[in-house]
Structure 1
Amino acid sequence: MASHVTLESDAADLLAAVRRVRAVVIERSAGLLAGWSAALDRPAFAAGATNLAHYLALRSQDLSALQPRLAALGLSSLGRSESRVLESLDAVAATLARLAGADGPPHPDRAAFGAGAAALAREQAAVFGPDGRGRLTRILVTLPARAAEDAPFVADLVAAGADCVRINCAHDSAATWAAMIANVRAATAAGAGACRVLMDLGGPKCRIVEIAAPGTTRLLRGDVFALVDRMPRTAPRRITVRSNVDDLVSRLRPGLPLYVDDGRIGASIEEVSADRALIRVETVRSKGLKLRVDKGFNIPGLDLGQPAITDKDLIDLDFVAGHADIVGCSFAQHPADVALMQRELTLRRGDRPPQPLVLKIETPLAVRNLPELIAQGAGRQPLAVMIARGDLAVELGFGRIGEVQEQILWLCEAAHVPVVWATQVLAGLVAEGAPSRAEATDAAMAQRAECVMLNKGPYLVEAVRFLDDLLRRMDRHQHKKTPQLAALDAWSALWPPARAGGSDREATDA
């Protein structure tokens, strides 16, 4: 009897705690929704916006002490409530009320409990197209220039499992893009598979546009190179680099870090004069790395003062608005950046439906503003969020990227917005023909996102096939944060096989 009283008392105490958590969720989420209201014009996102506000309000509270107590009673610890915040709280409260012998609300019905996951699947289809391959996660492939001239190569990519292709507008020209798209459309029409086209605007990314050097451009640890605004007329004595950002040197100061090619070269600014900055390499692989034109670089903590949509982006939008299925928005950091992109697309689309947007999250400011970016984007059109792990890892610091990519996954699931897991996925396989163990594990973890992106390389078709098989295997075992308890085939030999026509119990007894 004593244990029964203890159970009732414990359940009553937990019920009160859960009700307090729910009250805070309702109170705090109301203010968030009011702040987003001007952007929320799309009925399909209404439930996602509300649940996102609920999730942010839920996670503003420390639930860590509550979770083990709920789990000890066989209840949800609220650790997988992203897509259904109120429904999860109400389900727990309903069970606690019955354990405590108190009045309580009925349990949410099964349809309401699964509505968030269903909404996320609909948004995934709205951005990347309906599922035609039976995978939970789509595959996005960055097209090389070769795709403009090699139609069989494009058909092989689509047939291997590419659900969507990406054209990086920072490279090539409208004529090349048109040829790439024509080959994609031909491949889908010929039955290779459904495949959408994402055109990714270059945005205000620092890039190397000119290199002058007396010899090789390979940099080793300890080497010094120069960064200039205008290339000198006389031959330089050391490697000299010019970027696409006007008057960049005047904004630099000694001690600032600088990273080239998604952090493959780590350096610091050693000296700044009127016409150049001297940069010393601090980290690079042992055999060094060559500087190449078009490679990006980052200077964390420095505001470059560039507009979210560059003059080149505006020119490219004339083509993108008429030819792309999806538009990629690079370096969006404020809701106003997204609103500007939406206005420019509307000017060019006329009465045609808005194209889905992919917001690339590449800076700490974009991470901080992610709820508002989502509200502005998904409030007007189908939206996906790309975890652009190359720039983001450099900007945040490599030690934080694992933590932050998890938080982005949680937040987007709460908003019912699909996520693209991007940068260096299966990079060794794409470039060299063989994956490393670490990158195979990374790709398996990527299955929790709604889409995984591969970059271009000589073994791209093989990488798509490998990823397709890996994602299908992981679908048996994982859905978002929830393990799927399929039978463990690796240890099936532990159990005697059932006799034909008999039960498992009969086989065991025999």
Structure 2
Amino acid sequence: MTCKTKIVATIGPASSDFATICDLIRAGVRVFRINCSHGSEAERIQLIQLSKQAAQSLDIPIAVMIDLQGPKIRVGELEKPSITLKRGQTIKITAQSVRGNEKYFSIELPELTKNVQVGNRILLDDGKIELKVIRKLMDFLEAEVINGGELLPRKGANFPDSELSLSGITEKDLNDLKLGLENSIDAVALSFVQSEKDILDLKQHIEQKISVCKKVPIIAKIERPQALEHLSKILEIADGVMVARGDLAIEISPACVPTAQKEIIQTANRMGKYVITATQMLESMIENAIPTRAEANDVANAVFDGSDAVMLSAETSIGKHPVLAVKTMVSIIAEAEKHLAQWSVWNGNIIPKSSDEDSFFVIQAARDLSKDRNVTAICVFTQSGRTAILLSKTRPHVPIFAYTPNADTYSQLSLYWGVHSILTSRANNLDEILAIIENTVSKTNHLKSGDQVVLICGYPVQKFRSANLVMLHTFP
């Protein structure tokens, strides 16, 4: 069963062998995520290579995305194994390297006293402990404990009310990025994005500091309130976004995540950009063989909201049932997609940028033609994949077959909603294009004699122009 909404699966200890990776692809995975927060460089290289080998073995295109760790802000070392913070007490916090206790402790944020203001909140250990800054001095902050608890060393710290001046890209990220590009990754996700500047910085590193011959889509993870404030500007620069609901829930509260999710997805779709919904989608399946009813609703609603892809994290990386989790997600998506006409929030009306206007009108014409009851597919001939990606955002009711002679484009198009990529030789004229379509798409059993397809390509064909031709072709 093939879904239009793509499934992203995180590979980890539970799914890192060749056989399981093949099983995940057969079950419906089309994007593999490599989480750079875990494992060694050698292990990450192996996972990338195994994913590509499995895809080649099965003759199914797969995209590999690395997820950069980003800056991790943590509590420093403590004098004891843990300390207890009680509601109402005051405590001092410094950026200096000290061994903490019940009176003071450190947080590894160099610009702590500059970035954090009186009244700002500090959340520790995934939000379990909440502090409020009541006084600022030169070298430390004084905070009141709002919600107390036991604090262990090296726990994470979040600053939902503060604009942090630290770079969104660490030396580790640059090393992981270089490693990924050298091993032909297809996309990169950037963590803890605050503004479009973080995306521009990453693009600069890719273009100037690292030798790379292909365009790699950048996915901005939206997990800070500042990213929500700058969402449109981030989307102007990034190729897509991820609704990273874990840290987002810590920063803005779980109650605000559903509306934030809808805002992110709607804005990305309107601007013609890619969007993944992630985090705890089938969390109970880490242990159990069936999901909760709430989880099934969550996946279906992400489809109805207009997600291009939905993501499994711990479910496939460390869970007991990685392949079953994918099969379960496929069944939920497939059922939801039967009812898109009735319940879908996204209607496919993107707002084109000026640079996309010519392609946009060609794509709109193709989508209108595809509504004819005799049309069973749209076939796109593309070098970069851009036309197929824009067409995907308009949500046609028929499959999109994207033909490309570019091996990188062939893999990257696995990211996008409703797109089936096909690696083909270059065509020099329309007759060759039609022959390629008849020799390939008909083998998928989607088409039969008398069926029609909508063809999109650049014309003259041999000039490799942007899409400017739409035509109907009837299968003999």
Interval containing the TM-score (normalised by the shorter chain): 0.5 to 0.7
Partner residue in 1 for 2:298 = 442
Give 2:164's match in structure 1, choosing from 265, 288, 304: 304
- CA distance in 1 between counterparts of 2:152 and 2:60 reads 38
Shift of the 362–153 alpha-carbon distance from structure 1 to 2, 3 Å rule, reads same
CA distance in 2, matches of 1:143, 1:219: 37
CA distance in 1, matches of 2:94, 2:20: 40
Matched-pair contact (CA < 8 Å) for 2:78–2:152: no
3-state SS in 2 of match to 1:452:
strand
Shift of 1:345: 0.9
Query: Unaligned 5+ residue runs, structure 2?
Result: 348-394, 398-476
CA deviations on 1:395-422 (whole Å, 9 max, x unpaired) are 3333332222212222222122221001
Letter paired with 2:284: G
1:280 equivalent in structure 2: 145
Q: Which residue of 2 aligns with 1:197?
A: 64
Amino acid at match of 1:341: L
1:417 maps to what in 2? Answer: 273
2:380 matched residue in structure 1 = none
Query: Aligned equivalents of 2:263 and 2:73: distance in 1?
Result: 27
Structure label with greater radius of gyration: 1
Q: Structure 1 residues 319 and 367 mapped into 2: Cα distance closer, same or farther (>3 Å)?
A: same
CA distance in structure 1 between the aligned counterparts of 2:126 and 2:267, rounded to whole angstroms? 25
Partner-residue secondary structure (3-state), 1:189: helix
AA partner of residue 163 (structure 2): D
2:18 to 137, 151, 160: 151
Match of 1:371 in 2: 232
1:141 aligns with 2:37: no
Equivalence for 1:229: 95
Report the counterpart of residue 310 of structure 2 in structure 1.
452
* Alpha-carbon distance in structure 2 between the residues aligned to 1:172 and 1:193: 27
RMSD: 3.6
- CA contact under 8 A between 1:226 and 1:238: conserved in structure 2? no
Pair 1:359 & 2:220 matched = yes
* TM-score, L = length of structure 2: 0.61
Whole-Å Cα distance in 1 between the matches of residues 89 and 21 of structure 2? 41
**Contact 1:255–1:270 (Cα < 8 Å) also in 2:** yes
One-letter amino acid of the counterpart of residue 144, structure 1: G
SS of 1:428's equivalent in the other structure is helix
Change (3 A) 1:146 1:244: farther
Alignment correspondent of 1:333: 194
Q: Residue 123 of structure 2 is aligned with which of 259, 262, 267?
A: 259
Percent of aligned pairs with the same amino acid: 27
Instruction: Report the number of matched residues.
Output: 338
- SS of the aligned residue for 2:246 comes to helix
8 Å CA contact 2:90–2:142 kept in 1: the answer is no
Deviations 1:174-231 (A, max 9, x none): 21211111221232233285432111122234245x5546346899989999855355
Deviation, structure 1 residue 425: 1.3
Aligned twin of 1:248: 112
Cα contact 2:45–2:180 (8 A) shared by 1: no
Q: Provide closer, same or farther for how the CA distance between residues 289 and 477 of structure 1 changes in structure 2, counting only shifts above 3 A.
A: farther
Gaps of at least 5 residues in structure 1 are 1-132, 378-382, 487-510
SS at match of 1:401: helix
Contact 1:419 1:449 survives alignment (8 Å)? yes
CA distance in 1, matches of 2:325, 2:210: 35
CA distance in 1, matches of 2:89, 2:313: 29
How far residue 482 of structure 1 moved from its aligned partner, in angstroms, is 6.4
Deviation at 1:290, TM superposition (A): 7.9
Over 3 Å counting, the alpha-carbon distance change for 1:151 and 1:241 in structure 2 is farther
Cα offsets for 1:470-502 (capped at 9, x unmatched): 111111112542699x9xxxxxxxxxxxxxxxx
CA shift, 1:239, in A, is 11
Residues 377-416 of structure 1 mapped to structure 2, 5 A cutoff? 377=238, 383-416=239-272
Cα deviation, 1:46-74, whole Å, max 9, x if unaligned, reads xxxxxxxxxxxxxxxxxxxxxxxxxxxxx
Distance in 2 (CA, whole Å) between partners of 1:200 and 1:335 is 18
C-alpha separation in 1, matches of 2:298 and 2:108: 33
Write out per-residue CA displacement over residues 403-448 of structure 1, whole angstroms, 9 at most, x where no aligned residue: 2221222222212222100122111222555533222211111123
Deviation at 1:391, TM superposition (A): 2.5
Distance 1:333 1:254, change over 3 A: closer
Superposed, 1:488-507 pairs within 5 Å as none
Aligned partner of 1:172 in structure 2 is 39
Residues 327 and 358, structure 1, Cα contact 8 Å, conserved in 2: yes
Q: How far is the alpha carbon of 1:305 from its aligned partner?
A: 0.9
1:245 alignment partner AA: L
Distance 1:374 1:452 in 2: 19
CA distance change for structure 1 residues 252 and 338 in 2, over 3 Å: closer, same or farther?
closer
Distance of 1:160 and 1:217 partners within structure 2: 46
- Contact 1:253–1:269, Cα closer than 8 Å, also in 2: no
- Residue of structure 1 aligned with 2:30, choices 156, 160, 163: 163
The 5-angstrom pairing of residues 181-192 of structure 1 reads 181-191=48-58
Q: What residue number does 1:316 align with? A: 176
Summarize deviations over 1:18-53 as a string: whole Å, max 9, x none.
xxxxxxxxxxxxxxxxxxxxxxxxxxxxxxxxxxxx
Which amino acid in 2 is paired with 1:187? A
Distance 1:292 1:466 in 2: 38
Aligned to 2:402: none
| Equivalent residues of 2:268, 2:275 under 8 A apart | yes
CA contact (8 A) 2:93 2:105 kept: yes
Code of the residue aligned with 1:177 in structure 2: it is R
SS in 2 for 1:246: coil
Q: CA offsets, 1:129-188, max 9 Å, x none? A: xxxx5212111122225555x333333333332211212223333212111112212322
Aligned partners of 1:444 and 1:471 also within 8 Å: yes
Once residues 10 and 74 of structure 2 are traced to their aligned partners in structure 1, the CA distance between those partners, rounded to angstroms, is: 19
Given residue 394 of structure 1, which amino acid in structure 2 is its aligned partner?
A: I
Asked whether 1:466 is paired with 2:292, we answer: no
SS at match of 2:58: coil
Structure 1 position 269, deviation (Å)? 3.6
Q: 1:402 to 1:392 in 2, by over 3 A?
A: same
Q: Which moved more, 1:450-459 or 1:274-283?
A: 274-283
Q: Partners in 2 of 1:359 and 1:145 — Cα distance?
A: 26
